[in-house]
Amino acid sequence: MTTNEKLSDLVRAFARGDWGTADRLLVEIGDDGLREGPQTISAAFLLAVQRRFGETPDLQQIANFVATTRQRYADGHELPALAMEGMIRGALGETDLLDGIEPDVAFSTQILLLGTLLQDEQWTEAELEEFIREAEETAAQYR
């Protein structure tokens, strides 16, 4: 299985809330694989954010989502709220907010937020597969 296939499987695991599989895939993919193929995760993140917040996002809605996400996790109080908001707003067009976020923080934040966004959708298998196909097509444009 290629890194890109594993990244798509990672998106599936996030959407299903299958954290055991997600953890296993993250280990299998490893840091090198994540650096080589972040397009799939980034594309999925972008699409998920756009679906969740639409074209004219409400900043309070974003702040509430971040606060709720931080509450969901045991160590959520340690999650960088400003980076989380910046990542979401950056995906919605405010790209200047991404400038101050370190790459490792950006990517781990993106993965965490993507997991939350996908879980909240509660898609059918067909809807999930369509989303993954769209993310893969979007990612392919940047490889």
- Between CA 78 and CA 44 the distance in angstroms is 24
Which of 25-39, 75-89, 116-130 is predicted least confidently?
Answer: 25-39
Q: How far is it, in rounded angstroms, from Cα 97 to Cα 34?
A: 23
pLDDT of 38 higher than 80? no
pLDDT of residue 84: 92
Distance of CA 143 to the CA centre of its chain: 18
| Per-residue model confidence (pLDDT) at position 86 | 93
- Could you give the percent of the chain with pLDDT greater than 90? 38
* Residue 76 pLDDT > 90: no
Q: Which amino acid is at 36?
A: E
Scan for tokens 């937020």, then name that residue. Answer: 113
Q: Which residue has the higher pLDDT, 72 or 4?
A: 72
For residues 88 and 53, is the Cβ–Cβ distance under 8 A? yes
Angstrom distance (rounded) from CA 45 to CA 39: 10
Q: What is the DSSP letter of 123?
A: -
The model's pTM is 0.86
Read off φ and ψ for residue 74, nearest 5 degrees: -55, -45
Q: Provide the token pair at 64.
A: 């509430």
CB 45, CB 91: distance < 8 Å: yes
What are the residue ranges of helices labelled H in the chain?
3-16, 19-36, 38-53, 59-72, 81-91, 103-121, 125-140
49 pLDDT band, cuts 50/70/90, is: very high
Whether the predicted pLDDT of 36 surpasses 60: no
